Amino acid sequence: MKISVLGSTGVIGSLVLEIAEKEKIEVIGLSAGRNIKKLRKQVKKFSPQYISVKRKEDAEKIGKNILWGKEGLKTLATLKKADLIVIAVSGTAGILPTYEAVRAGKRIALANKESLVSAGAIIMEEARKNGAEIIPIDSEHNSLFQLFFYPERPEKVIITASGGPFLKGKPEKIRIEDVLSHPVWHMGQKITVDSATLMNKAFEIVEARWLFSLEPERISVLIHPQSIVHSIFKMKDGALIAHMSYPDMRIPIQYVLLYPKRGEPPSMTLDLTQVRKLEFYAASPEKFPALGIGYKMVSSPSSLSALINGANDEAVEAFLKKKLDFEGIIDVIINVSNKHRFYEPASIEEVYQLVNEGRQRAEKIIEGGK
């Protein structure tokens, strides 16, 4: 088994390599952004044949035949010799490699959610045409992937949300440190902010639609602070079928790397006698406005999701640079999406244009323009 790992220096990429080492999986491609120090260590350990970084100057520093930029990502996403392409690049940089991997008919372990959020219709159509297979790493979707082996389709699927760091109330002034300390998951900065605003869950609603061809009205969200139940099928007769595991991303990552086999537990196994309580709360869009945005995205033509993805990227960056306060993130997204004319983008280039438009419009609002 040979894999190519895009986003190898990130939280998910590093866990993928940990499992690859444990399971003696050969790593033939590594792609990083700007964390060259970490990449060098990974290269030393795994001796991949293909290496890519974000910038040309970093490629030159590392050595000869090092790929870079979009072409680098494209090469790593389409390696003929790779049995599995892992896409753990964060943000909109993940759209292009996901698109190229499906066009090349690869089996893909997909962590990046922005690609399906922005370009779900196009990517799933290319996957179908080229016989590509997408196996989600995202814990809720990985869990749904496993539930979908059940012979009947559900009336509804429920994905759970931990509720983020402010479930029990927000401090008067929300600091970056408050937002970045997620109660359950250790994740990269961007997704941690998205989890606090619940935009992460809004994106996951859209991701579920595309991965499992679900009608928008069949997808709902439930707040579950313990993050032990990841997803639930609600059947026609009212029965609920849930998937549970200890909240550790090593579990879905190993599932995807070994699929269709299963390996020894990569982390703690869930001991139900030790779980003192499992709580569930309604996740109303009134209380969590990001969920309202999620339901609007999933039931609208895809141009809205691409636009919002760009706007959210810009707003999160501005928040991390202290140019925008926490509550401002959702306000900016609502403001950008209010003046949108909906349509179905016809190409990946159009998707990128929409993402950029979302970024630019958000930037203007953040800077106080119109």
* Chain positions contacting ligand NAP, by CB under 6 A: 7-13, 32-35, 54, 88-91, 93-94, 111-114, 138, 185, 187-188, 191, 249
CB 159 within 8 Å of CB 205? yes
CB of 155 to ligand NAP, least distance (A): 26
Q: Which amino acid is at 212?
A: F
Q: C-alpha 188: how far from its chain's center?
A: 11
CB of 7 to ligand NAP, least distance (A): 3
Q: C-alpha 138: how far from its chain's center?
A: 6
Question: Whose Cβ is closer to ligand NAP: residue 142's or residue 335's?
Answer: 142
CB of 283 to ligand NAP, least distance (A): 18
Shortest-Cβ-distance residue relative to ligand NAP: 10
Question: Whose Cβ is closer to ligand NAP: residue 126's or residue 194's?
Answer: 194
Q: List beta partners, residue 26.
A: 2
CB 188 within 8 Å of CB 90? yes
In angstroms, the CA 188 to CA 199 distance is 15
CB of 341 to ligand NAP, least distance (A): 28
CB of 43 to ligand NAP, least distance (A): 12
In sequence order, the 6+-apart residues with CB closer than 8 A to the CB of 172 are none
CB of 365 to ligand NAP, least distance (A): 24
Question: Whose Cβ is closer to ligand NAP: residue 188's or residue 265's?
Answer: 188
Question: Whose Cβ is closer to ligand NAP: residue 32's or residue 256's?
Answer: 32
Angle (deg, nearest 10), helices 95-103 and 69-77: 40
**Token pair for residue 204?**
């996951």
Name the residue with tokens 């990269």: 188
Question: Whose Cβ is closer to ligand NAP: residue 148's or residue 185's?
Answer: 185
Question: Whose Cβ is closer to ligand NAP: residue 234's or residue 250's?
Answer: 250
